[in-house]
Each structure stands twice: as structure tokens, then as C-alpha cells.
């Protein structure tokens, strides 16, 4: 039976979209869109400024021109409105779409490779492509930072309580430190400690905190979140899209840490994708990408969680939990209080 023309056209359009994002990725990862933000440049000048091979840069300029990211006049390339949308200096930048496309392709290949043996090698697969890891934190910040500032801070009261107390917040699995940096900007009395297993992330977090004048209040450390320890109990411990990374192998240890390292009345704030209770929900537009990401999480030894599972884990260690939902219910912030 022949494939219907409409189906063929749909797939061809999807393939064109994937190719366009792959071209955009090189421009994002090497800062080419940002270098063309204010001025038109020839490909050789652009290559020299970006520290790239001239041949590679010229080939990228042709591809970016073909996909409508660049215009060209007299051998000098400038950004089109579409190209400007991928510059990281654009406040509403679409660069995470390009990063996600290449990260997704990498993880799909890894899933295909390991699916025969059943091996689940863990988070190290994220570091196998050296240009991807430095962009992972900025991608999450661009995707979730605005939601955090516009909605979560306003609707989850524990953050304002923390500022009034002049308390200490800990972010386990802090990435590039975006969560603590945004908290510190909003709440000037807050101090923070970030912990992450990737040195690249910790170095990036430290640089950004210093550039934003927050280094005196924020401390970023490299280490395994399951071995977190502090001299005195803290007021808040956050895990942002990190709990599912340790759920299968270390859930009991993590929730012990949350309870034992919080002061009485302190709060653990867990932000996770809200895996739906019914499979039928996965066909909804808000859940399709989540289903794909969950497949890639499986390669890393993880799986996404239902908010009810997190609430039950809090109850097991004697902490009462409340769930707040965002983005049409696809994002869950679960706050557990230590008595």
C-alpha cells in the first residue's frame, strides 16, 4: 500500500524543520548569530572573530542563507528576523529549540545503540558531545527562567518567607546556577549554595554569579547531590528537574537528606515535569515532548514522575506536601515542609 501524499508532505516538512534547527545549532554553539547582531560580516571575517576555520564558516553561511537565517549583500552576511530570533542576546531567544534538536538526535542515537543490550549508562551521555554540555544550562534557563519569575515565585509562598528570614537556599543539581541567581536577584536577603556533578556547570555558574554581582551571596560546589552535607540546617532545599535523575537508585537517601538538612519548618521544593496518570494524555501537545524526553531519560537510568509519587515520598519521611501546577498542568512544583 502506497504512503499517502499528505503523509509524505508531513514527514518532508518535519525533516526540513529538523535540518533547519541543525544548521541553527552551529550558529548558536559558536556564537555566530550574536556576532552578526549589530553588523554584517564576510564569512572570513566572521570566522576570524569566532575563532573558526574559514572553510567551515563559509559553508555554514551558505547553509544559513539557504534556510533564511542570513541575507547577503556584496559578500557580507547579515541576520534576517529569523536569524535574530536564534541569537542568545535576544531576550526571547529561540536558541533552545536548536540545542534541543541536536541533543535529541544525540540521545536518539544513544537509545538505539543501548536498546539491544538494555544498558543504561547514566548522565555521562550528556557529556559525550563536547559542544552540548555548555549549552544545557543556558537552554534550561531560557526555557524555564521566565516561568519561574512570572508565575512560580508569585504563586509559591515559600520563597518570600525565605527572604524575610534572610535564610539559606540550597539547589541540588544546580546546573549553571540560574535558579539561585534569579532567586538572589528577587530576594536581596537570601544566600544560596548550589551543587552539581558537572564541573562545566559549576564553573559557568560561578562566572555568571560574579558577572551579575551575586558572588558574595552564592556559593557553587562540584559534587554528588546524594552526598550533600552542611554544618547547620538550611531553610530551603530545591531540586529542579533533578529528582528523577536519582529516583531509581537513591530516592530514600535523597529524602533522608531533605529532612535531615532542613531546619524545623524548612521546605524542600521539588520542580519536575508532571508525568500524566493516563497514557492517553501523552498525545496532547503539552505532553508529546515530555514523552520523547522520558525515552531519553531512560538511557540515563531515569524516568519522569507523577506528582503523587513525590508527595508519597515526602509522607514517608514525615513531611507534608503541597503541589502547585503550571503550564496547563505539565509542570509540577511540590513543596514539602519539615515539621
Phi, psi dihedral angles at 124 (to 5 degrees): -60, -20
Stretch 220-244: mean pLDDT: 87
Note the pLDDT tens digit of each residue in 49-94.
999 999 999 999 999 999 999 999 999 999 999 999 999 999 999 9
**Beta bridge partners of residue 219, listed in sequence order:** 193
Stretch 294-317: mean pLDDT: 96
Residues in the chain: 339
Q: What is the mean pLDDT of the chain?
A: 93
Complete domains list, the chain, with CATH: 5-89 (1.10.10.10)
pLDDT at position 223 over 90: no
| pLDDT at residue 227, rounded to an integer | 74
Of 230 and 138, the structure prediction assigns the larger pLDDT to 138
Contact (CB, 8 A) for 40 and 76: yes
SS3 (DSSP) at 136: helix
Confidence class of residue 218 from pLDDT cuts 50, 70 and 90? very high
| pLDDT at residue 163, rounded to an integer | 81
| pLDDT at residue 232, rounded to an integer | 83
Stretch 171-194: mean pLDDT: 94
| pLDDT at residue 1, rounded to an integer | 61
Question: H-type helices in the chain, by residue range?
Answer: 5-29, 32-35, 43-50, 54-66, 81-84, 95-114, 133-147, 153-155, 158-165, 178-186, 199-211, 243-260, 285-299, 307-316
Stretch 180-199: mean pLDDT: 92
| pLDDT at residue 166, rounded to an integer | 83
| pLDDT at residue 164, rounded to an integer | 84
| pLDDT at residue 182, rounded to an integer | 95
Enter the pTM of the model: 0.91
- Residue 309: Cβ-neighbour burial (10 angstroms; 0-12, 13-18, 19+): middle
**Beta bridge partners of residue 191, listed in sequence order:** 168
Amino acid at each position: 500500500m502506497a504512503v499517502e501524499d499528505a503523509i509524505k508532505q508531513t514527514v518532508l516538512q518535519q525533516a526540513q524543520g529538523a535540518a533547519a534547527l541543525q544548521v541553527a545549532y552551529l550558529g548558536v554553539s559558536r556564537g555566530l548569530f550574536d556576532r552578526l547582531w549589530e553588523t554584517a560580516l564576510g564569512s572570513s571575517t566572521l570566522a576570524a572573530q569566532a575563532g573558526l576555520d574559514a572553510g567551515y564558516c563559509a559553508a555554514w553561511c551558505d547553509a544559513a542563507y539557504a534556510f533564511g537565517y542570513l541575507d547577503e549583500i556584496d559578500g557580507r552576511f547579515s541576520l534576517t528576523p529569523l536569524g535574530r530570533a536564534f541569537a542568545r542576546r535576544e531576550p526571547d531567544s529561540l536558541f533552545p529549540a536548536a540545542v534541543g534538536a541536536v541533543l535529541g538526535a544525540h540521545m536518539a542515537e544513544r537509545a538505539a545503540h543501548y536498546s539491544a543490550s538494555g544498558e543504561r549508562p547514566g548522565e555521562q551521555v550528556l557529556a559525550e558531545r563536547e559542544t552540548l554540555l555548555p549549552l544545557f544550562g543556558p537552554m534550561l534557563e531560557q526555557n524555564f527562567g521566565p516561568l519561574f519569575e512570572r508565575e512560580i515565585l508569585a504563586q509559591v509562598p515559600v520563597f518570600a518567607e525565605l527572604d524575610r528570614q534572610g535564610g539559606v537556599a540550597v539547589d541540588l543539581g544546580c546546573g549553571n546556577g540560574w535558579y539561585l541567581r534569579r532567586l538572589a536577584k528577587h530576594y536581596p536577603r537570601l544566600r544560596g549554595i548550589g551543587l552539581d556533578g558537572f564541573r562545566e556547570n559549576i564553573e559557568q555558574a560561578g562566572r555568571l554569579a560574579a558577572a551579575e554581582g551575586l558572588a558574595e551571596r552564592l556559593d557553587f560546589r562540584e559534587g554528588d547531590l546524594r552526598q550533600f552535607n552542611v554544618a547547620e540546617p538550611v531553610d530551603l532545599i530545591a531540586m529542579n528537574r533533578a529528582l528523577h535523575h536519582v529516583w531509581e537508585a537513591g530516592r530514600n537517601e535523597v529524602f533522608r537528606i531533605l529532612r535531615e538538612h532542613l531546619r524545623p519548618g524548612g521546605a524542600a521544593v521539588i520542580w519536575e515535569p508532571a508525568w500524566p496518570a493516563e497514557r492517553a494524555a501523552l498525545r496532547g501537545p503539552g505532553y508529546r515532548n515530555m514523552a520523547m524526553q522520558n525515552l531519553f531519560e531512560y538511557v540515563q537510568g531515569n524516568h519522569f514522575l507523577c506528582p503523587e509519587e513525590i508527595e508519597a515520598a515526602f509522607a514517608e519521611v514525615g513531611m507534608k506536601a503541597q503541589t502547585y501546577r503550571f503550564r496547563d498542568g505539565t509542570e509540577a512544583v511540590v513543596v514539602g515542609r519539615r515539621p
